[in-house]
Amino acid sequence: MAINWFKYSSPTTFYGLAGKMIPWFAIPAAILFAIGLYMGFFVAPVDAQQGEFYRIMFIHVPTSILSMFFYLIMAGYAALGLIFNTRLSAMMASAIAPTGALFTLISLLTGALWGKPMWGAWWIWDARMTSQLILLFLYFGFIALHASIDEPRRADRAAALLAIVGSVNVPIIYFSVKWWNTLHQGSTIKFSGTSMQITMQHTLLTMTIACWLYAIAVVLARVRSIILERERKTDWISELPEVRS
Amino acid sequence: MKPRHKRFVFIAVALAGVGLAVGLVLYALRGNVNLYFTPTQVFDNKVPKDRSFRIGGLVEAGSVKREGDGLTTNFVITDMYKEIPVVYKGILPDLFKEGKGVVAEGKMGAGGVMVAEQVLAKHDENYMPPEAADALKKAKAMEAADALTKGGAANAAEKVAMPTNAPVPVAK
């Protein structure tokens, strides 16, 4: 039996699949957020240097990692859409952008709240923070460029190009603390191991997975509404039970 | 070549081109992207004259002296090769400690003393509870004592690394 790999690459079939998948991501996300926040506030020990302040890391680090990761995923979908001319890929890229921008914003704001008591400054123009700010502007630019072109397929192509070009910023953010002198400390989680106590690591991992699942659920919900909006003139949409009633 | 192959090649070439351009720009900017200079660079006259700049390094142990007014602090920034004395009038961040990272911004005053307008603490990427930090300190002291008595780095191979997986009591 030959499997049709491209069955779910059409908006028609993916719309139903996405609707069925949402609870499978949303419910575990809620459970893991509850566990992660409890561990972060009550189970993880205080830090020897930073005391209680370091706990903001449990939201700062997951959102920072995922803001970079989702940019690459978004650029990947945009490239797929550009190369294969598939409609769904471009819709996925548009669906990821607002969540990526939200995570970048949370990462910058929590970083500022952490920086003031620990470093003595809300903001400083060091390489890590400046490149992360550029990531926020890239997300905003992608959303704005897409919204400024009326014809959806042309908007997809223009925004896709911006997303692909912008992806060179991601390795710059990641390696900035290695390449230059920055106020921001080096990476705690490295490919070679993690310089963090084990309970703190587990809490961080729980929060990261929770954020990740939340993002998938939200992106699936958003891509469903994008499909509805862009395919509204087609027959299959007018035959959907939720549209007919 | 199918049209989609053409588009793929076009995107790959464009991405490589942009990557190369950004790489060259960053290479040209390499010195200017750094947030601070090290004391060695100050001695090598690599810092701007008559302009505010930042020095980064460690606060030298035993160098912090507070003056009578309760606000002015004198300390020395070191990178283990050269030292720069700094005078700062203002409130220091919580993490400012001897032997820890610091970034000071200001101008060079008379006698090679930096008059700082802002002092920032720089912390490291290691997170552990106070008990583990104490244990680490003790282990290091023991190792140093061992090395002295045995007259060599016999235990060098068993250096105590970051106790990330060590059983650590959870602080309550």
The pLDDT tens digits for B82-134 are 888 999 988 888 888 888 889 999 888 878 888 888 899 888 878 887 777 78
- Interface check B18 vs A, CB under 8 A: yes
Confidence of residue B35 (pLDDT cuts 50, 70, 90): confident
Q: What is the DSSP letter of A50?
A: T
**What's the average model confidence in pLDDT over A134-159?**
93
Strand, coil or helix: what is B118? strand
Q: Does B147 or A197 have the greater pLDDT score? A: A197
Q: Does A193 or A124 have the greater pLDDT score? A: A124
Is 0.90 exceeded by the ipTM?
Answer: no
Q: Chain A: nearest CA to B124, how far in angstroms?
A: 5
pLDDT at B165: 41
**Integer CA distances (angstroms), B81 to A41, A181, B38, B43, in order:** 42, 17, 10, 10
| Structure confidence by residue, pLDDT tens digits, B16-34 | 888 888 888 888 777 777 8
CB contact under 8 A, B126 and A188: yes
Q: Chain A: nearest CA to B16, how far in angstroms?
A: 10
| Residues from chain A contacting residue B47 (CB–CB below 8 Å) | none
| Residues from chain A contacting residue B9 (CB–CB below 8 Å) | none
Q: Using CA atoms, how far apart are residues B49 and B30, in angstroms rounded to an integer? A: 20
Q: Which of B18, B26, B131 sits opposite A165 (nearest CB)?
A: B18
CB contact under 8 A, A43 and B170: yes
Q: How many CB atoms lie within 10 A of CB B149?
A: 9
Which one of B91, B128, B134, B138 makes the best mutation probe of the A interface by having the most chain A beta carbons within 10 Å?
Answer: B128
Average pLDDT over chain A, rounded to whole?
A: 90
**What's the average model confidence in pLDDT over A165-192?**
86
| Residues from chain A contacting residue B38 (CB–CB below 8 Å) | 181
pLDDT at B170: 43
Q: Sign of the CA dihedral A131, A132, A137, A141?
A: positive
Indicate yes or no: pTM above 0.90.
no
